[in-house]
Structure formats: structure tokens, C-alpha cells
Chains A and B, each alone.
Chain A
Amino acid sequence: MSAAMLDRVRIGRPTAWILLAALVVLVVAPHLLPQYVVILLTQSLVYAIVAMSLDVLIGYSGLGSLGHAAFFAIGAYATAILVTQHQGGFGAALLLSTVAGALASAVIAPLALRAAGIYFLMITLAIAMCVWGLAFRWVSLTGGDNGITSIPRPEIGFGLDMGVAVEFYYLILLFFLACLLLLFLLIRSPFGQTLIGIRDSESRMQVLGYNVWLHKYLAMVIAGAFAGLAGSLYAYFNSFVSPSDANIGHCMELVLMVSLGGPGTLVGAGLGALIIVFLKNMVSVYTKRWLMVLAAVYVVTALYAPEGIMGLFKRSASGGDRPK
């Protein structure tokens, strides 16, 4: 990697090498690991996309949106309904879900943005629970508690069979990398830098003449679009969507992924998604009480790792400084 290139994107040389190594691992991994693990990795990547989009809000804009799972679920249902009832293709489903996520967010954001701080947290969560209720009770559209089953894997041509775990993994990996790049560019753009400014001091940005409300609004719409896209991929991955995809547990799980990985790092959100997906699936093999383990992760993360795993790295790298 040339120094000029690194300079332009403003990341340090060690970070660049770590990212490159992670990329190599992600590309090689499916050939070295059992199929079960490949499937979990695929799931992690899908969740990584939605967790990263949530990080744009929590970590970069200072908007603690707790209802992000709602847009994920809206995207998942949009794809599920289009594919199973209207024989929609892969491209159409992706587009529909992304637009649905963005539109839902565009409608909900003005309501949530009426409030700030803890009120914002509570309102976003309450709205998400209304979406859950809709999925749960609007039986004729959503199948109610039974959800929508047997969503086929997408047909993408090129002689590739998406039913094969490894080939589907690479498809999702492509989407993950594209989303990571797009979100990274978004954060590094003037728009993203303004969001960071708003996170750090809203009144200062206001005085400087930025339209704070509009920036927050657009951030929510963009995050909603990415969540919708991730939802679409999830529907194809899981071949099943149900109201539980929008329930409060799922909402909080996304927040946990971001917090655990480290808010405001993008990559951290992906790492958090990986850890939570593997933890849930691995622990539930060994004990029926995996919910208690998950509960412990929530409490420990909140009590002892406010800056998440990336924050712990940063702290040890900078000589053990406490985060402020």
C-alpha cells in the first residue's frame, strides 16, 4: 500500500496491515473451516452490515437509535413478500428492501428527532415495537407469528449455485465489503465529518451554520437504507423471516454488537456482530441457559467495556490511557 494512498484515507500503516490480514482471512476462511462455521460467518457478515449502519448513528452522529432492527425487519419482510408471493428477482428484492428501509426511516425519523438524548432512545425503541406488532398481527401480509417460510436463495447466474454454503458466503462477503467501503467513505466525506461535529457539540455546529436537523435526518435515512439492504440479504440467507426479527431483543442485540465492538469505529461493529452471532450459536450448543450468558455479556459490556473491544486495543496502544 502506498503511503500516499494511506494518507488520503487517513488510516495508519499498522491499521492498514491489520485490515488487509482480516480481509485475507475472510477470503480464505471458507476453504479451511467446516460448513457449519461458514454458515455462521455468513450470518455474521449480514449482521455486520446492519451493525455498521447503526454505528453511523450511535458512534458517529451521537444518535442512540434503539429501533434499528425495525428497518432490518422491514427490509427482510419486503424481500420475503416480493420473492415468495410475486416471484421477484434478486436485484428487484435488493432494491425494494433498500428503498423500504430508507422510506420507513424517512417517515419515522422526523418523529424520533423531535426528542433528544434519553427520550430519543426510548421513542426509537417504542416505534420499533410498533413495527414488531405490525409483523406479529398483520397476518394476511406477514404470516403473523408463523412468519414467511421457504424463501429461495437468489439466482445470480454465472453458473453459480447460491444453495452452496461457500458460494453464498462469497456473495455476502462482496456485499459486506461494498457496504464497509461505502460507509467508510461516507464517514470520511464532509457530510460524515459534520456528523462527528454534531456528535461532539451540537450547539457549536448550529452556530457554525450547519443544518443540524437535516444532517441527523439524512444520517437516519442512509442508515435505514443499509439496514433494509442487510434485511434483504438476511431473508435470502435464513430463508425465513418472523416477527422476532423486529422484537426488542433483536433491537438491543444490534446495539450490543456496536457497543461490544466499539462505537465510532465501523470495523468494531462488524467485530461485535461476529462475536455475538458465534456466541449465541456456540453457547446454545452446550447449554440451554444461553440467554443467561447473553445477559452476562450485556451487563459486562456496559459495566466494564464502555469503549468496546476496539477501545481496549486503542487504550493499550496508547500506553494505557483511560478513555475520557
Chain B
Amino acid sequence: MEFWVNQTFNGISYAALLFLLGGGFTLIFGVMKITNIAHGSFYLVGGYIGYTVASWSGNFYLAFLVACLAVCLLGMIMERWFLRGLAGQDLRQMLITMGIALFLQDLCLVIWGGNPLTLTVPSYLAQSLKLGAYRFPVLRIAMILGAGLLFAVLWWFQEKTRIGAMVRAAVDNREMAEGLGIKVPLVTLGVFGLGALLAGFGGVLGVAFMGLYPGLDFELLPFAFVVVIIGGMGSLPGALVGAIIVGLIDNFGKALFPELSYFTLFAPMALVLAVRPTGLFGKG
């Protein structure tokens, strides 16, 4: 029983992190039809910047703010200067995001070196909550609540606000949206920035949760891919459900079949593709 409770809890807290990664990825994919290979790099850069700010200022929340803004800016620069001109050319866009991912990977190595880093969180987050016979780390509870809240805000923004409606219009029919006077280039710029921001946020959270080291960017990317393929590309609720499924499967997979741990991701992905190629929440 203890095994199941603990593993489920760990799986859900990992899912919170995966949602931040996959949510941004799916937003970008939905609006721009770009598979952003540099998305793991946004996470990594966010984490490193957050680490530096936190250890320099001692303020955990300032780290979030600075890292999110910096990565958001990075994403916007990338969209504006590198990707905009190639709309609709999938393969060329992917080559560019790969180039940028390699560049950022090497840049991080130059600036922050190759040693793994971790962040000390404020003492009230480092405690554990006792619930009956079980202990739950507060940091992980905060992560789960934070990701849930973020999902609610994003969903509300996309479904209920005027700007959200513009984004949905740009996703469904770009030309029609432009014809109606929606500034689609501004929408794509904003969405790319927001997607990058979410990954950067995840990165700072991730430093406290699982540390930071070179190569983590490409290690996490498969998870973002699988989350989005399962959930449906471009769908925010899909990213949430996908993250929970992948988070749980990965945790139980690692515990029960350590040798096949990455491969356990393949099974749900294959199943979804066989039954519903557009993903659980995808349109089409």
C-alpha cells in the first residue's frame, strides 16, 4: 500500500513538471505547427538562470521572475528572427530549432560548467506534511498545486478572454483570422513567448525537484513529445491529462521495470496512435 501511495504521489508531482514542459510545447505547436526541439533547452536555460539568481539574491521567487522573463524573451527572439520566415516548412524549422538547441546546450556548458547543480528551497518548502502514516514533501505539494492553478489560469485565458479567442482563431484558420483584423504575427510571438516562459518556470521548479545538469534538455524532450502525442497536439487539457498519464507510467515503470523505464513510454504512445492518431483531446 505504501508503495502505491508514494509512487502515485511522486508520479503526480512529476506530472506537474511535465505539464509545464508539455503545456508550453503544445501551445507553440497548436498556433505555429512547430515541433520545437529547443523546448528542453528553454527548460535548461530557465533552470540555470533561476539557480544563479537564487544563489546570488537568496530569493526563490525573484529567481522565478527573472528566469521566466529571460526565457520568454529568448523564445520571442527565436520566433521573430529565425522561425517566422519559414512558416509551413516543417523540416527546415526543425533543423533550426535543433541548431538553437545545440547552441544553447553549449552556451550553458560554457557559462555554468558541467557539474550538476541543485537549489536549496526556502525552509517552509523543505518540510514534509504528515498525513496519517504518510509523509508528503511540501515542495512537491506546492508543485502540484502550482501546476493545477496554472492550468486553470491558462484554460480560462484561452477559453474565456478576448485574447484567448484570438489565439483560438489563429489556430483554427490563420488566414481567416488575419482577414478579421487579428494581428496573427503578434499572436504567434506572444504564444511562443508564453510557451517558452512555461518551460522556463518548469526549469526553476525542476532545479529544486531533480537538479540540473548538461544533457537534461534532451533527456526531458521525449517526455514533452509523448505528453503531447498522447494528449493531442495543441490541446491544453490534453497536455494535462497526458502529463498525468506519462508521470504515473514513468514512475511506476522506473520502480517496477527499471530496465525498460524509457520504453514504458512507448506503449501508451503506440496505443493512442493506433486508436486515435490525433491524441486523446486532439482535433481532426
Taking a contact as CB atoms under 8 Å apart, the answer to whether A121 and B260 are in contact is no
A112 / chain B contacts, CB cutoff of 8 Å: 273
Q: A114-B277, A125-B35, A302-B86 are in contact. Are A130 and B266 (CB under 8 A)?
A: yes
List the B side residues contacting A66 at CB < 8 Å.
94
> For residues 18 through 61 of chain A, which have their beta carbon under 8 Å from a beta carbon of chain B?
58
* B37, B85, B94, B101 interface centre (most CB from chain A within 10 Å): B94
Contacts of B222 on A, CB cut-off 8 Å? Answer: 126, 129-130, 132-133, 248
Known: A126-B229, A299-B100. A133 touches B263 (CB 8 A): yes
Among A129, A140, A291, find the residue whose CB has the most chain B CB atoms closer than 10 A.
A129
From B14-22, B102-110, B182-190, give the one contacting chain A.
Answer: B102-110
A-B contact count (CB 8 A): 136
Q: Is the CB of B218 within 8 A of A134?
A: no
Known interface pairs A122-B233, A126-B229, A302-B86; A134-B262 also in contact (CB < 8 Å): yes
CB-defined contacts of A255 to chain B, threshold 8 Å: 91, 94-95
User: Would you give the 0/1 interface string for B241-284, flagging 1 where the beta carbon is closer than 8 Å to chain A?
Assistant: 00000000000000000111111011001100110010000000
A302-B95 CB under 8 A given contacts A122-B35, A137-B261, A295-B106: yes
At the interface, yes or no: B93 with Cβ under 8 Å from chain A?
Answer: yes
Q: Which of A138, A291, A306 contacts B259 (CB 8 A)?
A: A138
Are B225's CB and A137's CB within 8 A? no
Decide if B265 touches A130 in the complex (CB within 8 Å).
yes
Given contacts A122-B233, A126-B226, A255-B95, A291 and B105 within 8 Å (CB-CB): yes
Q: How far is the CA of A139 from the CA of B262 in the complex (A)?
A: 12
Contact of B269 among A130, A134, A292, A301 (CB under 8 A): A130
Q: Which of B229, B233, B261 contacts A133 (CB 8 A)?
A: B261
Query: Are the CB atoms of B33 and A136 closer together than 8 Å?
Result: no
Q: Size of chain A's interface in residues, with CB distance under 8 A?
A: 46
Is the CB–CB distance between A297 and B35 below 8 Å? no
A123 touches B273 (CB 8 A): yes
Contacts of B229 in A (CB 8 A): 122-123, 126
Give the distance to chain A from B30, nearest Cβ to Cβ, in Å: 11
Q: How far is the CB of B162 from chain A (nearest CB, A)?
A: 28
Q: What is the CA–CA distance of A303 and B96 in the complex, to the nearest angstrom?
A: 8
A137, A138, A255, A296: residue with the most chain B Cβ atoms closer than 10 Å: A137
B interface, over-half SS: helix
Report the count of interface residues on B (CB-CB < 8 A).
Answer: 46
Least Cβ–Cβ distance between A54 and chain B, in angstroms: 12
Interface string of A169-209 (1 = CB under 8 A from B): 00000000000000000000000000000000000000000
Contact B106 A248 (CB under 8 A): no
Q: Give, as a whole number of angstroms, the nearest-CB distance from A104 to chain B.
A: 12
CB of B82 within 8 Å of the partner chain = yes
Q: Which residues of B contact A248 (CB under 8 A)?
A: 37, 218, 221-222
By the criterion CB–CB under 8 Å, are B105 and A125 in contact? no
Q: Pick the contact of A302 from B93, B101, B218, B270 — CB < 8 Å?
A: B93
The docked-state distance in angstroms from the alpha carbon of A58 to that of B33 is 19
A247 — which chain B residues lie within 8 A by C-beta?
218
Contact indicator A64/B90 (Cβ below 8 Å): yes
A265 touches B (CB below 8 Å): no
Contact with A along B78-93 (1 / 0, CB 8 A): 0000100110011111
Residues of B with C-beta under 8 A to A130: 222, 262-263, 265-266, 269
Chain A residue at minimal CB-CB distance from B101: A295
Do A121 and B266 touch across chains, with their CB atoms under 8 A apart?
no
Is B65 interfacial (CB 8 A cutoff)?
no
Interface of A is mostly: helix
Q: Is the CB of B277 within 8 A of A294?
A: no
Contacting pair A295 B265 (CB below 8 A)? no
A73-115 Cβ-contact flags toward B at 8 Å (1 or 0): 0000000000000000000000000000000000000011011
Contact of B98 among A123, A137, A298, A303 (CB under 8 A): A298
A117 touches B90 (CB 8 A): yes
Q: Of all chain B residues, which has the CB nearest A122?
A: B35
Pick the contact of A64 from B91, B225, B259 — CB < 8 Å?
B91
Chain A hits for B263, CB < 8 A: 130, 133-134, 137-138
Is B122 an interface position by the 8 A CB rule? no
Cβ A259 vs Cβ B95 within 8 A = yes
Contacts A119-B277, A126-B222, A252-B37 given; does A295 touch B99 at CB 8 Å: yes
A165 at the interface (CB under 8 A from B): no
B102 contacts A121, C-beta separation under 8 Å: no
Cα distance, A252 to B93, chains bound together (Å)? 12
With a cutoff of 8 Å between Cβ atoms, the chain A residues found around residue B105 in the complex are 291
Tell me the smallest distance from the CB of B223 to a CB of chain A, in Å: 9
Q: Which residues 243-288 of A sit at the B interface, judged by CB distance below 8 A?
A: 247-249, 252, 255-256, 259
For the complex, give the distance between the alpha carbons of A298 and B91 in Å.
11
Q: Measured between alpha carbons, how far is A136 from B263 in the docked complex, in Å?
A: 10
Bound together, the chains give a CA A299 to CA B270 distance in angstroms of 32
Question: In whole angstroms, what is the CA distance A138 to B33 when docked?
Answer: 34
Residue of B nearest to A138 (CB): B259
Tell whether, in the assembled complex, residue B91 and residue A259 are in contact, meaning their CB atoms are under 8 Å apart.
yes
**Shortest distance in angstroms between B271's beta carbon and chain A's nearest beta carbon?**
10
Measured in the bound complex, the distance between the Cα atoms of B233 and A280 in whole Å is: 35
Contact B91 A119 (CB under 8 A): no
Of A64, A114, A121, the contact of B274 (CB 8 Å cutoff): A114
The 8 closest A-B pairs by CB, nearest first: A133-B262, A298-B99, A129-B222, A302-B95, A114-B277, A295-B103, A295-B102, A130-B266
What are 5 residue pairs bridging A and B, where the CB atoms are less than 8 Å apart in the complex?
A137-B263, A248-B222, A252-B95, A294-B102, A296-B103
